[in-house]
Amino acid sequence: MLKAGFIGAGGRSQGAHYPNVNRLEDDVQMSAACELDEGRLAQVAQKYEFPHTFSDHKKMLDTVDLDIVYCVMNEKWILQPALDCLNAGKHLFIEKPPGANSDETQQLLDAAIANDVYCMVGFQRRYAAVTREAMRRVSEKGPVSLAVTTFNKQILGGKSEFTTTLWNDVCHVVDLLRYMAGGEPTEVTAHRDKFSSEVRNFYTAYVRFNNNVTGVVFGNRASGGRVLRSELHGVGIGCYMKIPEEIEIYEDNNRNVMGGWEVDGEDQRDTASYEGVLTMHRHFIDCVKNKKVPISDLRDAIHSIHLVDKIEGELP
């Protein structure tokens, strides 16, 4: 049984992470929670019956013998608490983006390696049932030829933010593109635009990978609403995903459509079981128990961060 601590109890933590880790009760004991906001701390303490609560994460690390820590907070604040956890020898889960910039990401990776622990990033789209099914189907039909990811929203009139839309949000589908392609980028052609906004809100990129896969990514915040989709093509097969609810498969001129819940035989109403969050947390726990590097650990995710920098124009 792994003892888990939590730092942060904001909307994302309470909406996605606390409830899904709690479902792994046979493998995880929710031992401690840390949050500066007294009201939020009281909420999670009552709901999940934490035996220990703190307003100082360092005191939590010094007081409770934890195996893993979930540190979920805005990229503006994540670096120091995350470093403290890694340097305390705790396996760590953090949300995307992993830090305020790629330099901070590298600091976290260096600390994880130095302390021989994992630092897994919440790139949940890798774990969505439709993503897993597409990758399984395409792998059976020969090499990947094309991967496409799209993440659109309508956020007009945007003003300067702490980081950028690409860094703090579109990074999800940049990571997904690289993960599905299965290689590392060798050529990147990117465009960054502003539409009815003071800051960049429209990104497009064409990526050539070292395994001859072509990738295309779209991130548009000047569109008409939220759309999250991807494509993966092999030899004689093309998969079109609406994440997380559907995968449309064309194979040898035959069409098949599956709901995301059908991939693993889940209840359609149990969205967490097929959207990727629950699978992601189960994978993290299994990796810690079996001493296996998680697939979205910083040891791998750092390469997605480098691709984000290339698309942003930060790297040649």
pLDDT at res. 162: 87
**pLDDT for the residue 157:** 82
Chain segment 174-223, per-residue pLDDT in tens:
999 999 999 999 999 999 999 999 899 999 999 999 999 999 999 999 99
Determine the pLDDT at residue 64: 98
For the whole prediction, is pTM greater than 0.95?
yes
Give the amino acid at 45.
A
E strands, 98-210, are 119-121, 146-154, 185-193, 202-209
pLDDT reading at 253 higher than 90? yes
* Model pLDDT for residues 261-270, shown as the tens digit of each residue: 999 999 999 9
Per-residue pLDDT of 18-46, as tens digits, reads 999 999 999 999 999 999 999 999 999 99
Q: Which pLDDT tens digit goes with each residue over 223-233?
A: 999 999 999 99
* Burial of residue 14, with CB atoms counted within 10 A of its CB: 0-12 exposed, 13-18 middle, 19 or more buried: middle
8-state DSSP, 125:
G
For 310, residues 6+ apart whose C-beta sits below 8 A from its C-beta are 185, 188, 190, 316
